[in-house]
Amino acid sequence: MPGAEDGFCHTDRIVGSIVDMAGVSRAKVLPISRLPTFVDSGAGASPSWTVFCVDDHLAFTPSFSVVGDLRLRIDGDDVRDLGNGTYWAPACLTEQDGTPSLACTRYALRRVTARLAESGLTARIGHEIEFALFDAATTEEWSAYGLNAVLTQEEFIERLLAAASTAALPIEQVHAEAGLGQFEVSLAPADPVEAADNAVLARALISRIARAQGLRASFSPMPVAGGAGNGAHQHVSFTEGDLPILSGGPGPHGLTPAGGAAVAGILRALPEFTAVLAGSALSHLRLRPGMWSGVFRCWGLENREAAVRLCADTAGNPHGANLEIKPIDPSANPYLSSAAILGAAHDGIAGALPLPDEVSVDPADLTGAVDLLPTLPSDVLGAFESSALARDLFGPLIMEALAAVKGYEHAEYREKPVDEVAQRFRYAWTS
Ligand code: GLU
Ligand code: MG
């Protein structure tokens, strides 16, 4: 509105963003009057956006170079109001003729959900958003899950809930996590693409409100070396026709044969997808026993050290049975991590894989009986690059870009002192 009190002219804006292979959101802003252009023709984006690394280095490959142009396009139905004249929508990458780019991770997730639909399956996903607030003197009044913690940050929480309501972001709960200054926001389950959009939006709102409060929000897998990690767990559920496959069946805790096969498919594929789920040069610092990050390649009812925690259908679980996939961290592109999990579950169901034995104790007590997910760069990258399932789900362009980005990040940073790397990238995934 011209002539506003601060003496500046104001105009509404529309921001469209994508998430790249490093898990960083990259954006373009147009005046709101040009929203139809953002929808119909899109805003220009170099193909090199896809090979930006966490430090903004470009990991060029034969398919991603200085030549060419893609479009960043939004859908008018996806626009959310962030307040103060800023509107936001998740963008897709298209070719100049408007066809989907094979480098677009949002399209990749759509393709996987369509594949599920062809088999009569529908998935829903609820994201957990963990982050640490810094520069808060209030961290001196802090207890894990503490009432003191949520009360000292009540203004931040109030503003976040108000902004979420304006932006139609379905926040279910907020709590103080185990780490100093660490919080978690849980989002309601939704269609997988919408759920990933919501995860991106949640980070933008959290980052923005933190800044307005004089705080800084870190979505790093390891904000401070030696501290608590930030996870980005996803709660996944499936129905076949109208029936849930994770409850009402003859298997353990009500799993149906398809539900058991989904668990088996996810467990089988986890090493191939560690590059996608927790593939940054900091991720290995979190992916360790005792961190509740699900580094153990097993499943168990309410087992918080298992990669796949089954949350059964009980009165205390209003959304019904679901699988919490714990190894995922916030450096993951949420579209690709969901595509990986859903594709792996689908693969397990298609192959009628048998459900592995449940682990109902801390897997660390079974002294070596349960495998750990890979964390050495050569293992993580090697398993990804030789994965036929990843190639099938993502296609060659995303494979090429993700391998180049993660390969660079590990080569550049894995040998450096962890304190230095954690500090350097503390805010790399902040929006
Ligand atoms: N912060 C833990 C992680 O890095 C998760 C703690 C929890 O189970 O909520 O995954
Ligand atoms: Mg948590």
For residue range 17-73, what is the model confidence (pLDDT) as tens digits? 999 999 999 999 999 999 999 999 999 999 999 999 999 999 999 999 999 999 999
The predicted pLDDT at position 141 comes to: 79
Show the tokens assigned to 164: 């979420």
Residues lower than pLDDT 70 in the chain: 1-4, 136-139
Q: Which residues contact 56 (CB under 8 A, 6 or more apart)?
A: none
Ligand 1 atom with the smallest distance to the CA of 232 is: 10
Q: Which of 185, 192, 150, 147 is nearest to 167 (CA)?
A: 185
Q: Is 272 in the pocket of ligand 1 (CB under 6 A)?
A: no
The predicted pLDDT at position 142 comes to: 83
The predicted pLDDT at position 137 comes to: 54
Q: Is 124 in the pocket of ligand 1 (CB under 6 A)?
A: no
CATH 3.30.590.10-classified regions of the chain? 109-424
Q: Are 105 and 398 in contact (CB under 8 A)?
A: yes
The predicted pLDDT at position 4 comes to: 58
Q: Is 227 in the pocket of ligand 1 (CB under 6 A)?
A: no
Q: Which CATH number among 3.10.20.70, 3.40.50.300, 3.30.1490.100, 3.40.50.20 corresponds to the domain 4-101?
A: 3.10.20.70
Assign domain 109-424 to a CATH class: alpha beta
Ligand 1 atom with the smallest distance to the CA of 130 is: 1
Q: Which of 235, 229, 288 is nearest to 266 (CA)?
A: 235
Beta strands in 304-423 (DSSP E): 306-311, 322-325
Whole-number Å distance between alpha carbons of 132 and 141:
15
Could you say which ligand is closest to the alpha carbon of residue 231? 1
CA 359 → CA 23, 248, 250, 370, distances in Å?
A: 31, 21, 18, 9
CATH 3.10.20.70-classified regions of the chain? 4-101
The predicted pLDDT at position 10 comes to: 85
Residue labelled with tokens 């997730």: 109
Q: Is 293 in the pocket of ligand 1 (CB under 6 A)?
A: yes
The predicted pLDDT at position 186 comes to: 98
> Could you tell me how many helices (H) and strands (E) the chain has, helices first?
12, 16
* DSSP reduced 3-state for 86: strand
Residue labelled with tokens 């963990």: 130
